[in-house]
Amino acid sequence: MMPSKKSYRVRTLVVAALAFLPAPRAAAQQDAGIEQRTVAAIRDAALAPNEGPLGRPLPLVAHWHRMTMPPEWQVEQIRKGRHMLPWIDYNRNRSAQGADQHTEAVRQFARWKLPFVLLTGGQWEADFYGEEYKDAPAEQTGVGVSLKGNKIKAVSPFSPVEPWEKLGRKWTDNPVCRRMQELYPDPPLVLFVSNNEAHDMRWHAAEKLKRYMDKYGEGRDDNFKRKVFSDGWIARYGALFKGMRAGLANETWRKNVRFAGYNAFGPDHFARWGDWVKYSLHTEDRIAWEPFAWDGGIPESYDNHWEPQKKAYNVWSMQAEMMNLVFMKDEAFKANPDFWHEVIFWDGYLPDKDNNKRKQYEEDGHPCTPAMYRGWTQYVIWTLVPRVAREWRGSAFKKENWEEYFDQIVASVELVHADATLARFWRLGTLVPNRGRKHPFQTGVPEKWKDVDRWFHLTTNLDPPELKLDAKMPVWTLARVIGKPPRREWLLYAHAPMGARQGVEVDVPEHHKVKIDVPVEGAFYLLKESDGSITPVGKRE
């Protein structure tokens, strides 16, 4: 039977339309190519040295959430081309069957030979003041002892070292960890990551501790106390990690395992107010002890809900805090050239809470939109050039209320991989200091760090006359430079958290003033010394 004219025309249109679509096999090959390139790029970035022949490794993206972003979801994201470092929830007290919850995803990571993270939402050392050690003598735990000889519900840098190593072994010599080693026997890198917020004894309470007083007595100065505390932590955390490594059954795992901690880094509040020293363990010769024990640190860049004065458009901001970490990162790399460095973000979103930071922004008339979040998190990413840009959200937070915000961090990372100019500056660019102004945190700066560069915002015509903590910053800027005169190039980044600005004048040190338009979400410009040109770069997403 011959088709009707009408059915023939419809079929012809369908065939014509299909001619413009990739053939199924070609589409599959294209998807496979994206997957292979992405996997190779993730592996290269995760395994490259901090400073190698190509410069810095390109960034990766990750999250702290384990339930709504499980390994199976991560596999699909990687297949779509996202440069994501896999992470898996890790709890040594889970049943052996619990280790099989993500079997196929872990096997896929193994087939890809990808590095991955085993993330503990709690604190490894917190077991010392938990139920397991509740009735144990103090000498068999890592907790502190009061002047009266009573156990304190906090770990102490003067506790016996041996219990730390024994506890470390428990964290890896267990059915859950052995099953993980069976599923993936030859990983090139495994990062054990701790939430690292155990109750711990503070140095300014030293004379309330029996072991400290028995050994050192009263009247020691603050620097002495900070040093013996930090030296004590180095020894005890070193023992914890030694035990964790020894507990692994697989030789490849023992060789390729690293231990990183949330906020295992120097103090971002450095010099902000008089009591900052109470929350720091700096000594005369080092800003932080962590790089001498931990293999990596994940400092927070949080828009904390409990600090209402801190906002993306105030001088006291996440941007200003993270500038403090530039010299601390340099010191960490000198102490440990292989130190793993990430940054973790949060916008202070707390649904149904009066101190929800998004609510505070709305009351100020400057909503914390995804575009604003993109602007300031991207600023921090380009200030610190971390190996991983990670995000935190509460486990009970609904994904639909924050996924669009996380997508901004993903977009910032993907932009570096997609744009050759950005990738070049990420690898090789040097952050440009602004020595014409001082960092606004200047209280009690120790002598060793009085002259280190800590201010990287380039002066604009919109800057406040004084950098008071509550002063408004309509625009934030930074630059990275490559090359030598007279052929230097600068990558300039700027974002406008209070609303887009046009024709902003930016004073680039050793170059000249330039005029740029600055959107809320941020923009990049390439400046060339050879011809004075200024060109927008970076694909807008």
Query: What is the distance between the alpha carbons of residues 412 and 57, in angstroms, rounded to a whole number?
Result: 15
**Would you say 119 and 66 are in contact if contact means Cβ atoms under 8 Å apart?**
yes
**Is 311 among the domain residues?**
yes
Residues 280 and 213 in one domain: yes
Same domain membership, residue 99 and residue 228: yes
How many domains would you assign to the chain?
2
pLDDT over threshold 50, residue 272: yes
With respect to residue 7, please indicate whether it lies within any of the assigned structural domains.
Answer: no
Residue numbers of the domain that contains 397: 32-423
Q: Mark whether 410 and 492 lie in a shared domain.
A: no
Distance CA 261, CA 264 (A): 5
Q: 85, 388 in Cβ contact below 8 A?
A: yes
Q: What is the pLDDT of residues 449-478, one digit of tens each?
A: 999 999 999 999 999 999 999 999 999 999
The predicted pLDDT at position 21 comes to 47
Sign of CA dihedral 424, 425, 426, 430: positive
Q: Which of 390, 423, 456 is the last residue of a domain?
A: 423
Convert the pLDDT of each residue in 175-213 to its tens digit. 999 999 999 999 999 999 999 999 999 999 999 999 999
Find out whether 264 and 289 touch, Cβ atoms under 8 Å: no
Which of 373, 388, 423 corresponds to the end of one domain?
423
Residues 268 and 306 in one domain: yes
pLDDT of 58: 98
Identify whether 414 is part of a domain.
yes
Residues 85-117 as b or e (16 or more Cβ within 10 Å = b): bbbbbbbbeeeeeebeebeebbebbeebebbbb
List of residues 6+ apart from 535 with CB closer than 8 A: 525, 526, 528
Report the C-alpha gap between 390 and 63 in whole angstroms: 5
Cβ(387)–Cβ(343) below 8 Å: no
DSSP-assigned beta bridge partners for residue 506: 460, 514
Domain co-membership, 369 together with 453: no
Task: Give Cα 465 to chain centroid, integer Å.
Answer: 32
- The DSSP symbol for 457 reads P
457/357 same-domain check: no
Between strands 87-89 and 257-262, the pairing is: unpaired
The pLDDT tens digits of the residues spanning 351-403 come to 888 889 999 999 999 999 999 999 999 999 999 999 999 999 988 888 998 99
Q: Looking at the structure, tell me whether residues 452 and 417 fall in a common domain.
A: no
CATH code of the domain covering residue 362: 3.20.20
In a domain, 430, yes or no: no
Q: Are residues 184 and 297 in the same domain?
A: yes
Query: Do 407 and 277 fall into the same domain?
Result: yes
2 lies in some domain: no
| Mean pLDDT estimate for the chain | 93
Inside any domain, residue 503: yes
- 51 and 150 belong to one structural domain: yes
| DSSP string over 20-82 | TSPPHHHHHHHHHHHHHHHHHHHHHHHHS-SSBTTBSPPPEEEES--SSS-HHHHHHHHHTT-
Give bridge partners of residue 516 from the DSSP assignment. 504
Say if residues 476 and 495 touch (Cβ distance below 8 Å): yes
CB 460 within 8 A of CB 517: no
Rounded CA-CA distance 369/383 in Å is: 21
pLDDT for 541 equals 46
In a domain, 19, yes or no: no
Residues 360, 483: one domain? no
pLDDT reported for residue 89: 94
pTM, two decimal places: 0.93
Q: How confident is the model at residue 133 (pLDDT cuts 50, 70, 90)?
A: very high
Q: Classify residue 10: in a domain, yes or no.
A: no
Domain stops at, among 383, 407, 423: 423
Q: Do 334 and 459 sit in the same domain of this protein?
A: no
Going by pLDDT thresholds of 50, 70 and 90, the confidence category of residue 252 is very high
pLDDT at residue number 351: 86
Residue pair 453/433 in contact by the 8 Å Cβ criterion: yes
Q: What residues are paired with 63 via a beta bridge?
A: 391
Q: Return the pLDDT at 97.
A: 59
